Amino acid sequence: METRRTTVRDVRRANRASLLTDLFHGGRQSRQELGDTTALSQASVSNLIGEMIDEGLVEEAGLVGSDGGRPRALLRVAPGYGYVAGADVGETRLLVELYDLAMSRLGVAQFSLGDDGPDPQVTAAKLLEGLAAVIAEAGVERSEVLGFGVGVPGVVDHSTGSAVVHSQTTGWDAVPLGEMLRAGTDVPVFVENGAKTLGQAEMWFGAGRGARHAVIVMVGTGVGAAVVMDGRGYRGAFSNAGEWGHTTLVYDGDVCRCGARGCLEAYIGSETVIARLAAATGQQPDPKLLTRMLAADGALDEPAQAVITQTVGYLGAGIAGLVNLFSPERIVLGGPAGLALGERFLPDIRDAASRNALRHPYSRTRIDLCQLGPDAVAMGAATLPIARLLADGGLPATPGPTTPPSRAAHRRSLSRGRS
């Protein structure tokens, strides 16, 4: 077996990536602070930051006082260096957003996909239409868009080098969404499971920040989870780790949309809960019934409260399974139904989890709510090309003190790695 030697160029790339990641996640910092957090020498920090300032990737953004010396310049990733797009493919609607590198939202496009679930061809066409719309709304050039991340329901298989989506609940069987999108745009495309993109957003900017071991769960029409182990997302051998909604809660129980019986999703998925609420209260099964009912002031009436109490118990039991399996520092509850339940009944959810989890791992786990809202899937998807940029040290590292490569060269680098 051939062993690859680490070169000076590899070290430079890794050091650039370390600095850039610290700036992106930690906000404005001085060169001295970057040296402390990355353990790089001040000379290395100054040289590499100088390169990235010359490339336009990093910029000075204000001054901070120092102990008896000259004020120090604060640095940040340059927001206008490039732009990223992210999309959330739901079962009835599709959302596309455009961000700068400070994650300021610059454009939004939303489409209905109908009540019969997303058709692959229609979905791909709407994604491309949405990408064009948000680029036009923001007034940026297509060549400045570093990548387009797409969060979808189901398993995303990257083993073939593209992105093939398998989703039993929406009827997608080996849909080559990556290829379909690449055929319509030269913007690098990244496709991932929506729960995982939500998880990345919360780990970078929300309730998961600072945790090394966490599970971010998404409860909506579908139910999923993003598992983070030692600071890295866990995908499993075949990309389908995190299908928490299709773990069995009740043996031979209710039929799930996936065709199996007793899945957690069959008990806490929003469609099921809404149907049970409608039957219990005599109301129409409006898709917004659950969130509207939980947002109202005052106590729920007895039939509705009985449904919610049982749902909270099922949710807590499912979270307890995650505690027992992964022993995370933090479990973050999100998704439209998850947030609606958590904002009103988080103490009850924690209590149900504590009753069903082993005492010691539960005592070391914190259960919090997502901080970025129910639509963070698109934001998380937009971070997929940024994650590649960070891993590559921004632009491909130069072999020496030569002219930095162009942004076009970086786009070619992203294209080689896209899915």
pLDDT in tens, 89-115: 998 899 999 999 999 999 999 999 877
pLDDT in tens, 311-339: 999 999 999 999 999 999 999 999 999 99
Tell me how far the alpha carbon of residue 13 is from its chain's centroid.
25
How large is the average pLDDT for residues 256-273? 95
> Other CB atoms closer than 10 Å to residue 143's CB: what's the count?
12
Q: What are phi and psi of 188, to 5 degrees?
A: -55, 135
Determine the pLDDT at residue 397: 37
Where helices occur in 64-193 by DSSP H, the ranges are: 120-138, 177-182
Of 66, 84, 82, 85, the closest CA to residue 74 belongs to 66
How far is Cα 411 from Cα 91, in angstroms, rounded to an integer? 31
* pTM score of the predicted model: 0.87
How far is Cα 360 from Cα 1, in angstroms, rounded to an integer? 43
Instruction: Please name the residues in contact with 108: beta carbons below 8 A apart, sequence gap of 6 or more.
Output: 95, 96, 97, 98, 134, 137
How large is the average pLDDT for residues 182-205? 95
How large is the average pLDDT for residues 122-149? 96
Q: What are phi and psi of 7, to 5 degrees?
A: -100, 170
Determine the pLDDT at residue 2: 53
Burial of 86 (0-12, 13-18, 19+ CB in 10 A): buried
In this predicted structure, the answer to whether residue 396 has a pLDDT above a threshold of 60 is no
In this predicted structure, the answer to whether residue 358 has a pLDDT above a threshold of 90 is yes
Instruction: Please name the residues in contact with 205: beta carbons below 8 A apart, sequence gap of 6 or more.
Output: 103, 371, 372, 379
Q: Give the pLDDT band (50/70/90) at residue 398.
A: very low
pLDDT in tens, 38-48: 889 999 999 99
Tell me how far the alpha carbon of residue 397 is from its chain's centroid.
27
Q: In sequence order, what are the beta bridge partners of 156?
A: 165
In this predicted structure, the answer to whether residue 5 has a pLDDT above a threshold of 80 is no
Q: Give the pLDDT band (50/70/90) at residue 345.
A: very high
Determine the pLDDT at residue 395: 47
Determine the pLDDT at residue 408: 45
Q: Give the pLDDT band (50/70/90) at residue 414.
A: very low
In this predicted structure, the answer to whether residue 209 has a pLDDT above a threshold of 70 is yes
Determine the pLDDT at residue 403: 32
pLDDT in tens, 77-89: 999 999 999 999 9
Q: Give the pLDDT band (50/70/90) at residue 400.
A: very low
Determine the pLDDT at residue 412: 42
pLDDT in tens, 147-171: 999 999 999 998 877 899 999 888 8
The mean pLDDT of the chain is: 89
- The DSSP result for 210-250, as a single string, is T-SSEEEEEESSSEEEEEEETTEE---TTS-TT-GGGSBSS
Share of the chain above pLDDT 90, in %: 67
How large is the average pLDDT for residues 219-223? 93
pLDDT in tens, 57-74: 999 988 887 666 678 899
Q: Give the pLDDT band (50/70/90) at residue 402.
A: very low
Determine the pLDDT at residue 72: 87
pLDDT in tens, 229-248: 998 899 888 777 889 999 99
- Scan for tokens 């970078």, then name that residue: 204
9 membership: H or E segment, kind and range? helix 8-26
In this predicted structure, the answer to whether residue 406 has a pLDDT above a threshold of 60 is no
